[in-house]
C-alpha cells in the first residue's frame, strides 16, 4: 500500500482507495505490543467494572487517557484545516 501525505500532520491517505490513516507515534514493535496489552486490559476491566477494584478501574482510565493523548498529538491543527484535508482526499 502506498501512502500520500495530506494537509494535516499525522494523517495520510492511501493512493488506491483514498482511505485515511492516522499515524500513531510508536517507538518500536515492543511499544506497540505493550500498548495493545494495556488497551486489552483496560477493556477487560471496564467490561467487568463491578468485579474490579478501584485501583484497577483507575489504571484502566489512565491507560485510555494515555491513548487519547497519543491520538491527540496533532490536535493543534484547526478544524477548518481538517475539513480542507478531508475535502482534498474525497476529490
The mean pLDDT value for 6-29 works out to 81
Q: What cell was used for 30?
A: 515492543
Is the pLDDT score of 78 beyond 50?
Answer: no
Q: By C-alpha distance, which of 88, 87, 78, 86 is closest to 22?
A: 86
Higher pLDDT, 15 or 1: 15
Is the pLDDT score of 77 beyond 70?
Answer: no
Is the pLDDT score of 75 beyond 70?
Answer: no
Dump pLDDT digits (tens) for 33-52. 888 888 888 888 888 888 88
For the chain, give every domain's residue range: 1-25+77-91, 26-72
Q: How many residues in the chain?
A: 91
Full-model pTM: 0.56
**pLDDT > 70 in the chain, percent:** 86
Q: HEC string of the chain?
A: CCEEECCCCCEEEECCCCCEEECCCCCCHHHHHHHHHHHHHHHHHHHCHHHCCHHHHHHHHHHHHHHHHHHCCCCCCCHHHHHHHHHHHHC
Amino acid at each position: 500500500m502506498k501512502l500520500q501525505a495530506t494537509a494535516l500532520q499525522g494523517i495520510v491517505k492511501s493512493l488506491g482507495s483514498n482511505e485515511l490513516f492516522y499515524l500513531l507515534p510508536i517507538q518500536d514493535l515492543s511499544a506497540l505490543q505493550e500498548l495493545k496489552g494495556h488497551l486489552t486490559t483496560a477493556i477487560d476491566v471496564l467490561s467487568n467494572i463491578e468485579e474490579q477494584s478501584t485501583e484497577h478501574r483507575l489504571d484502566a482510565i489512565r491507560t485510555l487517557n494515555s491513548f487519547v493523548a497519543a491520538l491527540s498529538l496533532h490536535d493543534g491543527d484547526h478544524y477548518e484545516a481538517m475539513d480542507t484535508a478531508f475535502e482534498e482526499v474525497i476529490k
